[in-house]
Structure 1
Amino acid sequence: MAKVNWGIIGCGNIAHTFAKSIAHCSDAQLIGAASTSMQRAKEFATPYNIQGYESYQALMQCPNIDAVYIANTHDQHFKTIAQCLKHNKHVLSEKPITVNAEQLQSLTKLAKQQNCFLMEGVWMRFLPAIVKLQQLLSEGVIGNVHSVNANFSLPGSFADTHRLMNPVTAGGALLDLGIYPISIADVVFNKAPEHIKSFVHKSTTGVDERSTAIVDYGNGQFASLASALQQNGPTEACINGELGYIRIPQFVGAKTLELHINDQDPQYFKYDFSDDENFKFEIAHVTQCILQKQTQSSVLPLGTSLRVMNIMDTLRAQWQLQYSNAVESAELTN
């Protein structure tokens, strides 16, 4: 059986999720990981019995690696992806794929030039519960959809230097958490919005700590989308229609889905998988795309990522939240 050999760039927590999940994919194998620190790369690589690389460049130059999962901080995604593509590596980048739409457009052109696969890693979109959601909506079981309500909050306290609070690493709730409520609304409506209104509270570091957006998709279809750092709240999504509604508890990593139809008993759909399998659906999809010599995903094409990115650009413009020129630049360097 043909297999895709994967490498990881960035050795933080999300990289461990990828490394554990890929073990459940028969046509993919992890063979290397790179960090800016050789010690950190070795510490990450040892339990998975893979090669640790002393630099990103060293991993990119390895001829045995077919595809790379980008797991470093948001501010590094654009230039790291560009370097991987220039080394003819297929790329799956942890969300957000870039910090703005202009960067994504540059990478889209580069991936096409290099004939390489490129996709944003929004694992939620590949979960069986979300696939079931799309099936129910296509069947019209709740009638015309009128609205979506979605919230993703992350409790706890974060130091100003933490990547989520630090503008140097393109921190803030929107790019890390808010992309999920926006994405679930995009799954439902599958089109660009007409108008957006929003409210934001910024942290002392200047990044968005919590926000709410009212997104108008036209034809009387709206979404109320919220994300927050250092806040407790239910992570859930509700899709409201004329005949009923669909509730998805913990929609970001959805394992259950509730269907409520007028005057009927609720229906519950359950799709169980372990935490070590979180990314296996996404990895399996991307691996098949690569084996079939596709350069984009049919589930999450780059145009869809761009549509979501445009919403986040609009929100940041409304909030007057701009990162440094170094972080925002879409210039491709040699």
Structure 2
Amino acid sequence: MIRAYLKKKEMENSMHYNWGIVGSGWIAHDMANALIQEGVGIYGVASGHYSSAKKFSEEFSIEHVYETYQVMFEDENIDIVYIATPHNSHYEIMKEALTHNKHVFCEKAITLNSMELNECVEIAKKRHLVISDGVTLFHMPLFKELKKVISSNSLGPVKMVQVNFGSFKEYDVKNRFFNPDLAGGALLDIGVYAVSFARWFMSSKPNTVLTTMTPFETGVDESSGILLKNIENEIATISLTMRAKQPKRGLVACENGYIEVYNFPRADKAKITYTKDGHTEEIVCGESGLALNYEIRDMEEYVSSLNGQENLSYVCDVMDVLTEVQRLWGKYE
């Protein structure tokens, strides 16, 4: 499947842009591999440590290595900046990239709160730039297909969305997942995906947010429950934890049936059950192993048309919810 996809890409005559990678960790490695598969130019790389960036450049045959992020942003040959640093640094790096007229594709969580994101969005609007983020499900073909199923009304109106996401992080108070100085906690790590799943299927942004949270000993959120409702009276329930494994399961309950998606962040199949007679239907679309490839294709399309507003609206809605959840936990007053 991947080989066939890449062969198809070779036959397409689409415009590509020069990407600059900020960061040299594992997700930057994965994105570099995907960019190479797509035939996209990795023009340069910068990291917090020049030696790391140099090693990264040698691994992927990247010609330009920059001493600092700012030096990269000053290079007029770079069109798109991909930010793969820890999310507590995203805001400052993204703002700097935007003020140097670079389009930005940023890993999740795109910022720590909606105040930071809104500031970056305003800069992007004034400069006619594109912002998108690495919530893979927004770019997976399956979710675009499921959106069509919901829009067709074959299942009737959405009534409730349920999302579970639990990962088990080894007990280590020094790990970034548990470090408050690095914006640790389940919400900004795995909760971004869960809230994104809920928002994708809800007709509008939630205007009611309720939540409860159990803190880890360092003060970050270890486990939480989140309840959302919008003006259409659609309800979403979300459960998160990073000290107990849960299946990555999303369920969309409609009047005439329900959709189940497992491993939803990069899912390529879903099951629909029709409640009237109990028959089921499986939808297979895309391929989970190409998740980052889909992100690249969408981002380049957004830049080519200067039209990523629908995607950005979801990103902003999700961050608004995440910020309100944190406010209810006492973080923002």
Is TM (by shorter chain) over 0.5?
Answer: yes
Q: 1 CA distance for matches of 2:194 and 2:204?
A: 15
Q: How does 1:266-277 map to 2 (within 5 A)?
A: 266-271=280-285, 273=287, 275=289, 277=290
Moved over 4 A (4+): none
Q: TM-score, normalised by structure 1?
A: 0.90
Taking only aligned residues, the RMSD between alpha carbons, in angstroms, comes to 1.8
Unaligned runs of 5+ in 2: 1-12
More deviation, 264-273/166-175: 264-273
Change (3 A) 1:251 1:37: same
Q: 2 CA distance for matches of 1:157 and 1:230?
A: 8
Find 2:243's aligned residue among 211, 215, 230: 230
What is the percentage of aligned positions where both structures have the same residue?
Answer: 28
Higher relative CO (Cα under 8 Å, sequence separation at least 6) belongs to: 1
> Secondary structure, in 3 states, of the residue corresponding to 2:244?
coil
Deviation string, structure 1 residues 271-327 (Cα, Å, up to 9, x no partner): 35363x2211111111122123x0x414412x332221111111111112359xxxx
Query: Is 1:312 paired with 2:322?
Result: yes
In the TM superposition, residue 264 of structure 1 has moved relative to its aligned partner by: 4.3
1:44/1:52 contact within 8 Å kept: no
More deviation, 199-208/13-22: 13-22
2:142/2:286 contact within 8 Å kept: no
Unaligned runs of 5+ in 1: 324-334
2:186/2:240 contact within 8 Å kept: yes
* Equivalent residue number for residue 96 of structure 1: 109
In the TM superposition, residue 93 of structure 1 has moved relative to its aligned partner by: 1.0
Higher relative helix content: 2
Q: 2 CA distance for matches of 1:64 and 1:124?
A: 30
Find 1:34's aligned residue among 11, 21, 46: 46
Q: 1 CA distance for matches of 2:159 and 2:167?
A: 27
* Equivalent residue number for residue 330 of structure 1: none
Find 1:49's aligned residue among 43, 50, 61: 61
Query: Is 1:139 paired with 2:149?
Result: no
* Equivalent residue number for residue 77 of structure 1: 90
* Equivalent residue number for residue 213 of structure 1: 226
Letter in 1 for 2:200: V
Query: Is 1:5 paired with 2:5?
Result: no
Deviation string, structure 1 residues 16-65 (Cα, Å, up to 9, x no partner): 22112222324x32122111111111222222111332321222122221
Q: TM-score, normalised by structure 2?
A: 0.90
* Equivalent residue number for residue 195 of structure 2: 182
1:91/1:117 contact within 8 Å kept: yes
Name the count of aligned residue pairs: 318
In the TM superposition, residue 69 of structure 1 has moved relative to its aligned partner by: 0.5
